[in-house]
Amino acid sequence: MFNKKALVILMILVLATTALAGCGSSADITVGSKNFTENILLGEMISILIEENTDLTVERKLNLGGTLVNFEALRNGDLDLYVDYTGTGLMAILDMDVINDPDLVYDIVQEEYMEQFGLKWMAPMGFNNTYAIAVREDTAKQYSLETLSDLALVSDELVLGSHQEFYNRPDGYPGLQETYGMNFKDTKAMEIGLKYQAIGTKDIDVTDAFATDGRLISYNLVVLEDDKQFFPPYHAAPVVRMDTLEEYPELEGILNSLGNMISDEEMQQMNYLVEEEGMDEAKVARDFLVQKGLIGQ
Amino acid sequence: MERVFLLTVEHLQLSLMGVLIALLVAIPLGIFIYRYKGFAGVVLSLTDVIQTIPSLAMLALLMLVFGLGNTTVIAALVLYSLLPIVRNTYTGLNNVSPSLIEAGRGMGMTRFQRLRYVELPLALPVIMAGIRVATVTAIGIATIGVLIGGGGLGVLIWRGIQNTDTQMILMGSIPAALLAILADFLLGKIEKRLIPKGMN
Tell me the pLDDT band of A170, cut-offs 50, 70 and 90. Answer: confident
In a domain, B199, yes or no: no
With an 8 Å Cβ cutoff, is A26 touching chain B? no
With an 8 Å Cβ cutoff, is B189 touching chain A? no
Q: Is the pLDDT of residue A231 over 60?
A: yes
Q: Is the pLDDT of residue A12 over 80?
A: no
**B80: domain CATH number?**
1.10.3720.10
Cβ A70 vs Cβ A35: under 8 Å? no
Q: Please tell me whether residues A124 and A26 are part of one structural domain.
A: yes
* pLDDT mean over B137-146: 93
Q: Is the pLDDT of residue A23 over 70?
A: no
* pLDDT mean over B80-84: 94
- Higher per-residue pLDDT: A92 or B87: B87
- A102, HSE (Cβ side, Cα atoms, 13 Å): 17
Tell me the pLDDT band of A3, cut-offs 50, 70 and 90. Answer: low
- Higher per-residue pLDDT: B54 or A191: B54
Comparing CB atoms, the residue among B10, B147, B162 nearest residue A64 is B147
Residue A4: per-residue pLDDT: 67
**A253: domain CATH number?**
3.40.190.10
Q: Which of A172-181, A238-247, A249-258 has the lowest mean pLDDT?
A: A172-181
Comparing CB atoms, the residue among A25, A61, A65 nearest residue B60 is A65
A69–B63 C-beta distance less than 8 A: yes
B67–A278 C-beta distance less than 8 A: no
Q: Please tell me whether residues A64 and A154 are part of one structural domain.
A: no
Q: Please tell me whether residues A201 and A250 are part of one structural domain.
A: no
Q: Which of A191, A224, A257 lies at the terminal end of a domain, its last residue?
A: A224
Helix H or strand E encompassing A161: strand A159-162
In a domain, B62, yes or no: yes
Contacts with A81 from chain B: Cβ below 8 Å: none
Amino acid residing at B85 = I
Tell me the pLDDT band of A195, cut-offs 50, 70 and 90. Answer: confident
Tell me the pLDDT band of A63, cut-offs 50, 70 and 90. Answer: confident
Per the structure, the complete domain to which residue A250 belongs is given by 22-128+234-291
* pLDDT mean over A224-251: 94
Residue A157: per-residue pLDDT: 93
| Residues in chain A, total | 297
Cβ A207 vs Cβ A158: under 8 Å? no
Q: Please tell me whether residues A241 and A198 are part of one structural domain.
A: no
Q: Which of A22-26, A280-284, B136-140, B177-181 has the lowest mean pLDDT?
A: A22-26
Per-residue model confidence as pLDDT tens digits over B2-32: 889 999 999 999 999 999 999 999 999 999 9
In a domain, A1, yes or no: no
Contacts with B196 from chain A: Cβ below 8 Å: 1
Q: Please tell me whether residues A33 and A174 are part of one structural domain.
A: no
Per the structure, the complete domain to which residue B93 belongs is given by 2-194
How far does chain B reach from its first CA to its final CA, in angstroms? 44
Comparing CB atoms, the residue among B14, B63, B194 nearest residue A73 is B63
In a domain, B188, yes or no: yes
Residue A243: per-residue pLDDT: 95
- b/e per residue B93-109 (b: at least 16 CB within 10 A): beebeeeebeebeeeeb
- Structural domain tally of chain A? 2
In a domain, A17, yes or no: no
What whole-number percentage of chain A has pLDDT above 70?
A: 92
Residue A193: per-residue pLDDT: 67
* pLDDT mean over A131-145: 93
In a domain, A2, yes or no: no
In a domain, B45, yes or no: yes
In a domain, A4, yes or no: no
In a domain, A3, yes or no: no
Longest dimension (CA), chain B: 68
Residues 6+ apart with CB under 8 A from B17: A14, A15, A18, B74, B77
Per-residue model confidence as pLDDT tens digits over A28-51: 999 999 988 899 999 999 999 999
Contacts with A15 from chain B: Cβ below 8 Å: 17, 20
Q: How far apart are CA B73 and CA A62, in angstroms?
A: 16
Q: Please tell me whether residues A117 and A242 are part of one structural domain.
A: yes
Amino acid residing at A71 = F
Q: Please tell me whether residues A111 and A61 are part of one structural domain.
A: yes
Q: How far apart are CA B114 and CA B123, in angstroms?
A: 12
Helix H or strand E encompassing A30: strand A29-34
In a domain, B157, yes or no: yes
Smallest CA–CA distance, residue A275 to chain B, in Å, is: 5
B10–A37 C-beta distance less than 8 A: no
DSSP assignment letter at A32: E
Q: Is the pLDDT of residue A65 over 90?
A: no
A2–B159 C-beta distance less than 8 A: no
In a domain, B200, yes or no: no
Q: Is the pLDDT of residue A9 over 80?
A: no
In a domain, A9, yes or no: no
**A177: domain CATH number?**
3.40.190.120
Q: Please tell me whether residues A199 and A157 are part of one structural domain.
A: yes
Q: Please tell me whether residues A57 and A182 are part of one structural domain.
A: no
* pLDDT mean over B63-83: 93
Q: Which of A180-184, A193-197, B186-190 has the lowest mean pLDDT?
A: A193-197
Per-residue model confidence as pLDDT tens digits over A71-103: 999 998 999 999 999 999 998 899 888 888 999
Q: Which of A160-164, B109-113, B123-127 has the lowest mean pLDDT?
A: A160-164
Q: Please tell me whether residues A47 and A180 are part of one structural domain.
A: no
- Structural domain tally of chain B? 1
With an 8 Å Cβ cutoff, is B34 touching chain A? no
With an 8 Å Cβ cutoff, is B20 touching chain A? yes
In a domain, A183, yes or no: yes
Per-residue model confidence as pLDDT tens digits over A257-297: 999 999 999 999 999 999 888 899 999 999 999 999 999 87
- Higher per-residue pLDDT: A170 or B172: B172
Q: How many CB atoms are closer than 10 A to CB A5?
A: 8
Beta sheet of A221-224, edge-to-edge order: A186-189, A159-162, A206-210, A131-136, A221-224
CA dihedral B186, B187, B191, B193 (to 10 degrees): 30
Q: Which of A194, A224, A254 lies at the terminal end of a domain, its last residue?
A: A224
In a domain, A10, yes or no: no
Q: Please tell me whether residues A240 and A116 are part of one structural domain.
A: yes
Q: Please tell me whether residues A108 and A240 are part of one structural domain.
A: yes
